[in-house]
Structures are given as C-alpha cells and as structure tokens.
C-alpha cells in the first residue's frame, strides 16, 4: 500500500488516537482517491457518502476534504463500513466496502472488550486488549487491499451543492434558525425543538 505517514499522522491527530476503525477509513479513502485520480477537495469538488458514524469517517474527512460543514459529507445511518466517494468534475464515483470476515470476534475477545469498556479490566487485560487492537490496526493498514475491501466504480447522482439560507428568530427561545428549517407554532416562527414541545394535555389538570 502507498502508506503516507504524514496523512496517517494527520488523521490520527484529528481523531485523537490510532485505532482499527480509523485505519479502515484511511485505507478506504486512499483507494477511492487513487481510483478517481483525485486529490483532497479544497471546496466541494468531491462528495463522500458514509454509511457509518464510526471512527473511519474522521479519516475520510481528513484525506478527502469532505466535511459536514461544507455539505459534501453525507451520512447514511446503515451501520456499514461503506464509503462512496464521487468527483463532481468527472462524474465518476467509487464505492469501497469492508469485506465480511476481515477479523473474527470470538467470545474471549468480546468478553475482554466488554471488561475494558466497562472499566473492570485489570492492567494485564488492558495490555492484552491493546496488543489485539494494534495487531488489527496493522493488518488493516498493511494487508493487500483485495483481502480487506471490495472497491467498485458506481453510478452516483451527485447531490446538489450546499446552499446558504436566511435566518429567522425563533419566537420561543430567541435563537436564530435557518429559514428552511423553521416551523410555525401559534402563528410565529419556531425552531424544531420548540415546535416539537407539544402535548395534548393528557393527565394535565
């Protein structure tokens, strides 16, 4: 793999630590950018559709330049390590999906992980879990990509570019809200949280 310590270090710094999940997003981004012959987006030249909210999304943001704030990172709550990157200029898109069976979580590993995350693990168990995680991370970074991922060029209807909207003031909390997201409550503008503060009055005297 064309491993770039600088890019990896940037992803780790952004995420806060190195882990197998971050490595998944890192490899997926590298594969997609290579297949698209594209570099990091400065604006909205690329679009990323991610099907998980796990660690790998941070690497996708760092390497592709697609972010929530720019409107070119789209989240689909499917719980899958699948990343589709599209190039607006060429219309090309690549879907990169983690293959099944990349690693098997046996019962002993699951029990160990549960003890670590519940705060019940001993120092020795924490060290053992750290070794497991490091082995997984290195496997993701170094294994032949065809063992880890399925990558394919796909048709992608590019989403519209991000738009700017006027703001209105919520009559109930006084905070500004994008006009397109405002609701009407009692004949006045309301933000979504204030508009949804609704009760039919059951049990209220």
**Listed range (41-55, 96-110, 165-179) with the worst mean pLDDT:** 96-110
What ranges do the domains of the chain cover? 5-153, 164-205
Taking the model in full, what pTM does it have?
0.80
164-205 is a CATH 3.30.60 domain: yes
What are the tens digits of pLDDT across the range 120-133?
889 998 998 888 88
Residue 200 has pLDDT above 80, yes or no: no
Mean pLDDT across 150-171: 89
Residue 70 has pLDDT above 70, yes or no: yes
Dihedral sign computed on CA atoms, order 127, 128, 133, 139: positive
Q: How far apart are CA 140 and CA 27, in angstroms?
A: 8
What are the tens digits of pLDDT across the range 78-106?
999 999 999 999 999 999 999 988 876 77
Among the four given CATH numbers 3.30.1330.130, 3.40.50.11440, 3.30.230.10, 3.40.50.300, the one describing domain 5-153: 3.30.1330.130
The bridge status of strand 46-50 relative to strand 73-75 is parallel
């Amino acid at each position: 793999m064309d491993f770039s310590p600088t890019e990896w270090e940037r992803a780790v710094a952004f995420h806060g630590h190195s882990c197998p999940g971050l490595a998944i997003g890192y490899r997926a981004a590298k594969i997609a950018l290579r297949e698209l012959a594209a570099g990091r987006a400065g604006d909205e030249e690329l679009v990323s559709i991610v099907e998980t909210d796990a660690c790998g999304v941070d690497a996708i943001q760092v390497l592709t330049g697609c972010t929530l704030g720019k409107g070119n990172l789209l989240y689909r709550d499917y719980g899958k390590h699948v990343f589709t990157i599209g190039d607006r200029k060429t219309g090309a898109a690549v879907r990169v999906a983690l293959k099944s069976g990349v690693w098997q979580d046996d019962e002993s590993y699951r029990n160990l992980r549960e003890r670590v995350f519940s705060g019940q693990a001993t120092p020795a168990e924490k060290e053992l879990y750290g070794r497991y995680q490091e082995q997984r991370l290195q496997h993701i970074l170094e294994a032949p990509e065809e063992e880890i991922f399925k990558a394919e060029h796909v048709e992608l209807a590019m989403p519209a570019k991000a738009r700017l909207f006027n703001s209105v003031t919520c009559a109930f909390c006084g905070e500004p809200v994008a006009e397109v997201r405002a609701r009407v409550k009692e004949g006045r503008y309301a933000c979504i949280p204030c508009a949804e503060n609704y009760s039919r009055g059951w049990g209220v005297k």
